[in-house]
Amino acid sequence: ASHVEAATVCVDAVAEAWIAAGEFADAAGILQEFAARVPGQIGTLLRLVEVSVDGGLEATMYEAQAQLADAYLAADRLEEARVIAEDLVTREPHEISHVERLRTALTMLDVDDVEGAIAARVDPEQIAGVDLEHEEREPVAPHAQPVAVPMRRVQQAAPPAPAAPPTAAPAAAE
């Protein structure tokens, strides 16, 4: 634990130096690397979200928020997990892992109508192809507390028909 704390101080110092230089992508990179090596560090993930917002790093921010929601679930900080999961679902309702994070948080919070709460955030047309009746379920975060939580499956859409090869234009007569 003391090594993690010392490493956190070092990583934060390096990130701050990159931020001071206006290099938000580099600051986010060092925070991402640390988060990958030491998962579940809420402080690091919060800082990564902040740096990503400040630097306009949208994809990094979404990934960091997902990791942060998982870390909150693992730490039993369910209200925080719920807020972030709701934000992720509102922004990307087609992303099944976000829906599952929200379902996990709501289930752990003992919400009476979990599916109704999810439906209130998700426009059914935005998640076309999701089988809402399938019963096989898996937890979202492997490091979160084990909870028997449903996982919806995406129905396999028929592959698009191959494009017809271009026809050769007739040769011009000379």
**pLDDT for residue 9 is more than 90:** yes
pLDDT at 125: 58
**pLDDT for residue 69 is more than 90:** yes
Residue from 163, 131, 142 nearest 67 by CA: 142
Q: What is the per-residue pLDDT across 37-55, written as a single tens digit (0 to 9) for each?
A: 999 999 999 999 999 999 9
DSSP per-residue string spanning 28-62: HHHHHHHHHHSTT-HHHHHHHHHHHHHHT-HHHHH
- Per-position b or e across 55-87, b if 16+ CB within 10 A of its CB: bebeebbbbbbbbbbbbbbbeeebebbbebbbb
Q: What pTM, to 2 d.p., does this model score? A: 0.69
* pLDDT higher at 149 or 127: 127
Q: Give the number of other Cβ atoms within 10 Å of residue 25's Cβ.
A: 13
